[in-house]
Amino acid sequence: MNLRALRILWVVARYRLDTLIPLDRLPPLLRLAVRLSPLRLLPTGPHSRGRRLRLALESLGPIFVKFGQMLSTRRDLLPPDIADELRRLQDQVPPFPGERARSVIEEELECSVETAFAHFDTDPMASASVAQVHAARLHSGEDVVVKVIRPGIDRVMRQDIALMYTLARLLRRVPEARRLRPVEVVADYEATLFDELDLHKEAANTSQLKRNFKGSPLLYVPSIHWPLTRRRMLVQERIHGIPVADLEALQAQGTDLKRLAERGVEIFFTQVFRDNFFHADMHPGNIFVARGRPHDPQYIAIDCGIVGSLTREDQDYLARNLLAFFHQDYYEVAVLHIESGWVGEGTRANEFAAAIRAVCEPILEKPLKDISFGQVLLGLFQTARRFNMEVQPQLVLLQKTLLNIEGLGRQLYPDLDLWQTAKPYLERWMKDRAGPRGLWASLQKQAPELSRQLPELPVLAHQALARVESEQRQRRQQVDSLTRIQDDMAQETRRSRRLRVGALILALALAWQPLQAWALEQPWPVLVAAALGAVLLAWR
């Protein structure tokens, strides 16, 4: 792990990534530290800043490449030269030799490539951080693609995850960073990332997504060829769409880019709220557009290695939160955060609402087309520090996907009204969920279980009544016991008081003559104090 940390530092120095830090945004002390850094003595080399960043991420491995893929969709946050270079990380990562891919395939299938395929292209079609893809043809004549996991990739990933755990544990010691729950976030990311290395899981995810959008004009998902799919290789129907980032090709066929961007938003919200199963790696390298239907554009999704889902409670809270934002009802947002446990129970809703309003109003005053979900989320994260709002690991994947969708939508159609596009869908979903139709659907779903339990209802009712009667009898017994204890304690108190009074009277009687002589010599304040003390002794 220490060697891995040293390698990361070496790569940062080699590609002079310190030159990408915006010094004017740093605190004065940190700015001075960067300016005095010995790295500034090293040459930057012949490459542009964007190319240096891309090469550094490629050399550091899959976790860093995925970070670059996510950044590549945010042209609203990055300079164009850096965004253009990072775009190459989507499907142009340096490949591993095709012969090694053949070896992996033959190990997994336990037969030769020629036995499994009528044709196999050793040169890869595309190469990404975790795997690369080769064109092939089945003996039945069907064109397919074969996805093969990079050999040895799990070792590098485990080193990076171990380093992330170390940093997370250090962060957990900082009080302000504890609410970010860094260890839980890394654990969630680790599970998601290593799922990508099992292509059986990706194939199952792909089949589920295809089933969810069967016959839909919005999204097409290619079929899996299960007989040749294994843990380290996946065989899938070959598609011939246009890469979603190829704006020139999309414009050349006359694609309605506005409708395409809006359909991307609709697909996202359909996956999250209707199906509760969303593609969580929607960078442009995994998304294509069908050819030949420019006025009715349809997406094609591949690489379902990372998917997400939410609990029913998180679904409801998320939908209600988004709708409250759309309606600028900040008090409702604050109440929902408190109810869901995302902020502490002691948080005052009106104070939290005022803080959220201060963040959102300057943004929402802009024309809707200029609103960025990314800006809203960053502002809310800063506000959350004041109220000790904890990061929800189960929502991190969703937030990352939402930022990808927004970046992609703005790339296709810069005037995309993301909020206005999402609002009708969410309102319709909430109405269906909470209205008569949702109630009827819920009853239909639970009907088999209800019909099974119906004959048992009399017995269950009798058992429930018996439990209630038993609990009431126990409560009466407890009340009687408490009453007896209270009576005993009161009686003991009275007995103790009588003993104190008797002892005091006896003491006064025995010491009366000395006390009388002493009292005649004392001033009246001393006598009053002595009498008061005697009364208190008798009373308590």
Task: Tell me whether residue 275 is one of the annotated catalytic residues.
Answer: no
HSE-CB at 482 with a 13 A cutoff on CA atoms is 6
Residues of 308-345 as b/e, b for ≥16 C-beta within 10 angstroms? bbbeeebbbbbbbbbbbbbeeebebbbbbbbebebbee
CA 361 from chain centre, in angstroms, equals: 25
Given 91, 160, 188, 281, which residue is catalytic? 281
* Contact call for residues 105 and 233 (beta carbons, < 8 A): yes
Q: Could you give the CA distance from residue 404 to residue 287 in angstroms, rounded to a whole number?
A: 12
Measured at the CA of 276, the angle between CA 446 and CA 265, to 5 degrees, comes to: 135
| Structure tokens, 371 | 């609103």
| DSSP three-state, residue 404 | helix
Measured at the CA of 186, the angle between CA 180 and CA 190, to 5 degrees, comes to: 155
Q: Distances from the Cα of 157 to the Cαs of 161, 196, 310, 346, 349, in angstroms?
A: 6, 11, 26, 41, 42
| Phi-psi label, residue 449: left if phi above 0, alpha if psi -120 to 50, beta otherwise | alpha
Show which residues are catalytic.
Answer: 281
